[in-house]
């Protein structure tokens, strides 16, 4: 299998490519911020999950309860993780970080690119944006067709799963931007065109516009407190009084 073709240096970089390279840098900064938030969410959730499992095991020993943490339903734990992700990251990113949306990264990439270029008016800018959209669609079309298998987010692999979903959103988005830069250089687009695309992304792209600032990123304890409460709600819903045999 031949190695992928990578972009090469362009002898005559267009004026439009300057703002587009700035857009690349801002997208990478947004990716780092979302990854930091995702890490905090995963650490807090894992702390709560382990604490809950240990506590329920003690209850099992004392009260001879038949329900165990390992028997929590997929729906119950997915609901908990949904509450945590939405609560700390919002709608678009919550759907990206959570485990319940199939192929969340690819769907997010398509959505945020369309949102990012929504404010573009100049015809030249629209043509460049079109190349980016075509690239993203092609990447998504060529992806493995089986959807992500939805699984209960337990105390393992949560951080890896979140990072993978973030990467699967930003990867196509950044390659789409590469295609825009290549088209801008091919047509020698002017500075105003590149700036218009950059401004549109800054205003409309949710992964850039809503990226978490340092003050917005919760501590692992804050996430753990919310997750623990939600896990106990799910646990209580699973439990029935007839399953207790208290002597």
Per-residue pLDDT tens over the stretch 147-191:
444 445 554 467 778 888 899 899 999 999 999 999 999 999 999
Q: What are phi and psi of 141, to 5 degrees?
A: -65, -35
Is 105 domain-assigned? yes
Which structural domain, as residue segments, surrounds residue 128? Answer: 17-239
Arithmetic mean of pLDDT, 187-208: 95
Lowest mean pLDDT segment, chosen from 5-9, 63-67, 232-236: 63-67
The overall average pLDDT reported for the chain is: 78
Q: Per-residue confidence at 26, pLDDT binned at 50, 70, 90?
A: very high
Percent of the chain topping pLDDT 70 = 70
Is 136 domain-assigned? yes
Is 3 domain-assigned? no
Lowest mean pLDDT segment, chosen from 123-127, 215-219, 221-225, 237-241: 237-241
Residue 54 buriedness (CB in 10 A; 0-12 / 13-18 / 19+): exposed
Among candidate residues 6, 20, 15, 185, the one with its CA nearest the CA of residue 117: 20
Alpha-helical runs (H) found in the chain = 17-63, 74-89, 91-97, 104-116, 123-141, 158-187, 191-204, 206-209, 220-238
Model pLDDT for residues 50-99, shown as the tens digit of each residue? 776 655 555 555 444 444 444 445 566 677 777 778 778 877 887 788 76
Distance CA 205, CA 4 (A): 28
Output the six-digit token pair for 164. Answer: 């993978």
Distance CA 53, CA 45 (A): 12
Q: Taking a C-beta distance cutoff of 8 angstroms, is the pair 61, 227 a contact?
A: no
Q: What is the DSSP letter of 98?
A: S
Model-level pTM?
Answer: 0.75
Output the six-digit token pair for 84. Answer: 């945590």
Is 218 domain-assigned? yes
Is 246 domain-assigned? no
Is 8 domain-assigned? no
Q: Count structural domains, the chain.
A: 1
Lowest mean pLDDT segment, chosen from 2-11, 20-29, 156-165, 176-185: 2-11
Is 178 domain-assigned? yes
Arithmetic mean of pLDDT, 111-126: 92
Distance CA 166, CA 4 (A): 22
Q: Per-residue confidence at 20, pLDDT binned at 50, 70, 90?
A: very high
Is 10 domain-assigned? no
């Amino acid at each position: 299998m031949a190695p992928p073709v990578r972009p090469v240096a362009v002898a005559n970089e267009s004026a439009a490519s300057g703002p587009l390279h700035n857009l690349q840098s801002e997208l990478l900064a947004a990716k780092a911020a979302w990854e930091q938030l995702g890490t905090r969410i995963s650490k807090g959730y894992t702390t709560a999950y382990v604490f809950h499992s240990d506590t329920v095991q003690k209850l099992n020993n004392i009260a001879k309860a038949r329900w165990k943490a390992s028997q929590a339903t997929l729906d119950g734990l997915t609901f908990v993780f949904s509450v945590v992700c939405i609560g700390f990251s919002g709608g678009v990113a919550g759907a990206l970080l959570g485990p319940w949306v199939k192929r969340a990264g690819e769907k997010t990439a398509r959505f945020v690119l369309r949102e990012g270029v929504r404010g573009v008016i100049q015809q030249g800018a629209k043509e460049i944006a079109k190349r980016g959209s075509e690239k993203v669609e092609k990447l998504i079309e060529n992806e493995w067709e089986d959807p992500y298998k939805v699984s209960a987010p337990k105390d393992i692999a949560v951080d890896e799963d979140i990072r993978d979903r973030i990467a699967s959103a930003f990867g196509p988005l950044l390659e789409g931007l590469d295609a825009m830069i290549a088209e801008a250089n091919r047509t020698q687009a002017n500075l105003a065109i590149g700036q218009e695309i950059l401004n549109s992304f800054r205003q409309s792209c949710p992964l850039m516009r809503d990226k978490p600032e340092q003050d917005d990123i919760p501590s692992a304890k804050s996430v753990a407190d919310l997750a623990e409460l939600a896990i106990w709600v799910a646990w209580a819903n699973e439990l029935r009084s007839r399953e207790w045999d208290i002597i």
